[in-house]
């Protein structure tokens, strides 16, 4: 079982752009692993973790980002609730993968991590 409190404490140490980058990375993993039926548990874990990441980030995000995070949170809840139907249907799995990829790109864009100004504004070291 996950230690959500320790994960939350660690996650909240990062600036919002880095947190959003974590959500984007998780969605990229959902995309990748939802195409492989052997990875169901990992997909479920990434969906659940992403929901937590959004919950912990939404109040600190700019208002225009908050609404998109709420929309994504709803989408993740729908996937989670319907996963038993999705996992056994290749076309549904593919649809989840494609939508997860779109969300991943959108959240990465919203994070600002593709812009040098974000790194300067938050004094985030480049890796």
pLDDT at 127 over 70: no
pLDDT at 31 over 90: yes
Residue 1: per-residue pLDDT: 75
Pull the structure tokens for residue 35: 């195409």
Q: What is the pLDDT of residues 38-82, one digit of tens each?
A: 999 999 999 999 999 999 999 999 999 999 999 999 999 999 999
Rounded to 10 degrees, the C-alpha dihedral 109/114/118/119 comes to: 150
Distance between CA atoms of residues 61 and 127, nearest Å: 23
Predicted TM-score (pTM) of this structure: 0.92
pLDDT classification of 109: cutoffs 50, 70, 90: very high
pLDDT the model gives residue 71: 98
């Amino acid at each position: 079982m996950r230690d959500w409190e320790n994960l939350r404490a660690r996650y909240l140490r990062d600036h919002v752009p880095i947190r959003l980058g974590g959500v984007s990375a998780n969605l990229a993993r959902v995309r990748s692993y939802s195409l492989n039926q052997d990875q169901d548990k990992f997909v479920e874990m990434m969906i659940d973790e992403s929901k937590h990441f959004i919950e912990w980030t939404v109040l600190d995000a700019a208002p225009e980002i908050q609404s998109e995070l709420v929309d994504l949170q709803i989408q993740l809840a729908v996937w989670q609730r319907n996963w038993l139907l999705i996992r056994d249907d290749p076309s549904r799995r593919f649809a989840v993968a494609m939508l997860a990829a779109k969300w991943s790109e959108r959240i990465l864009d919203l994070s600002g991590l593709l812009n040098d100004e974000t790194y300067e504004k938050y004094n985030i070291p480049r890796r």
